[in-house]
Amino acid sequence: MKKVLVTGACGYIGSHTVKQLAKNGYVVDAVDIKPSSNDISKYVRFARIGNVISESIKWGRYDTIIHLAAEVSVEESVKNPWNYYNNNVISTRNLMRMSSFDNFIFASTALAFNPYSSPYAQSKLMAENIIKEYVRLNNKHFTIFRFFNVAGNDGEFKQIGNATHLVRIAAETAAEKRDYMLLFGTDWNTPDGTCIRDYIHVSDLVDGIVKAVENPADTEYECIGTGVGHSCLEVIETMKKVSRKKFKVVNYERRTGDPERTLIPEGEVISSYVSPKRTLEEICASAYYTELLDKKSWGVG
């Protein structure tokens, strides 16, 4: 039975990935810098919580390492770039050097197509280059996934920490966990003046990650999206529709580091690793009901 190590395993994408790997019969070990409300214990053989990446070498050889751990806020990266270079670049290098593996799967970002837009985007591109150089020199396999906007959930696991992504913020507002939400920029050069993004359901994305365990791409990168763009305003209106709530939205100035569009560039193609099945309505509905249930767990509503 193949052994897989997942970093960032208690996080949003990590917890969904660990669950799907276990369901597919893999032996899964997990690493994360801190615990979360996503309880992955029943899906893993070992879980190490804390600054313990170096311990992975003690657990023996892995068929595949899935590296999902990262700092991911564009806005925060502008304020504290060194933290992003340290955690997203140097830590990736250290993980590869300390671990024994045949196949390395890396969670990158669509923002790597425009690396100078933010330190976060630059850090991910730098990590991509380190990975490709390392596997070339050491005769390993790899897959680099450039994720577009990941949202929704499977009903068991969810996004953790403070919300920074539009779908979750809209879901929190619909669930009345917020009095209102901010819409960052209404004067972009788009049909309705708001930013456009390609949103993919986390379960569709995880299906692609699991496929790469058996069939590494060994390509420059794989685009994980749907090929369809939705504006911020369209997402908000969809959330209002599925939740049947007319929550308050406040127009606000543009946010530092935000690109106008995050779409699969012309000449690029959606990766064959994904076959998106879930719609924007399903993404928004899953996010909303998760926030609604979470609110009820507080004894409210």
* Per-residue pLDDT, 301: 43
Predicted structure pTM score = 0.92
In a domain, 72, yes or no: no
Q: Mind listing the pLDDT tens digit for each residue in 142-180?
A: 999 999 999 999 999 999 888 989 999 999 999 999 999
Mean pLDDT per 10-residue section of the chain, whose length is 301 residues: 94 97 96 92 89 60 95 91 95 91 97 93 98 96 97 92 93 97 97 97 97 98 97 98 98 91 93 95 96 64 43
Residues 32/17, Cβ–Cβ less than 8 Å: no
In a domain, 259, yes or no: yes
Q: Which of 12, 26, 120, 221 is catalytic?
A: 120
In a domain, 76, yes or no: no
Q: What is the C-alpha to C-alpha distance for residues 266 and 224, in angstroms, rounded to an integer?
A: 15
In a domain, 264, yes or no: yes
**DSSP assignments along 135-194, one per residue:** HHHHT-EEEEEEE-EEE---SS----SS--SHHHHHHHHHTTSSS-EEEE-S-SSSTTSS
In a domain, 32, yes or no: no
* Per-residue pLDDT, 299: 46
Identify whether 85 is a catalytic site residue.
no
Q: Is 176 exposed, middle or buried (0-12, 13-18, 19+ CB in 10 A)?
A: middle
* Per-residue pLDDT, 56: 54
Tell me which residue range forms the domain holding 236: 153-197+227-269+277-301
In a domain, 7, yes or no: no
* Per-residue pLDDT, 101: 95
Q: What is the C-alpha to C-alpha distance for residues 225 and 199, in angstroms, rounded to an integer?
A: 7
In a domain, 208, yes or no: no
Q: Mind listing the pLDDT tens digit for each residue in 22-63?
A: 999 999 999 998 889 999 999 999 888 876 555 555 667 899
Q: What is the C-alpha to C-alpha distance for residues 301 and 296, in angstroms, rounded to an integer?
A: 6
Q: What is the C-alpha to C-alpha distance for residues 34 and 13, in angstroms, rounded to an integer?
A: 15
**Residue 164 sits in a domain of what CATH number?**
3.90.25.10
Q: What is the count of structural domains for the chain?
A: 1
In a domain, 168, yes or no: yes
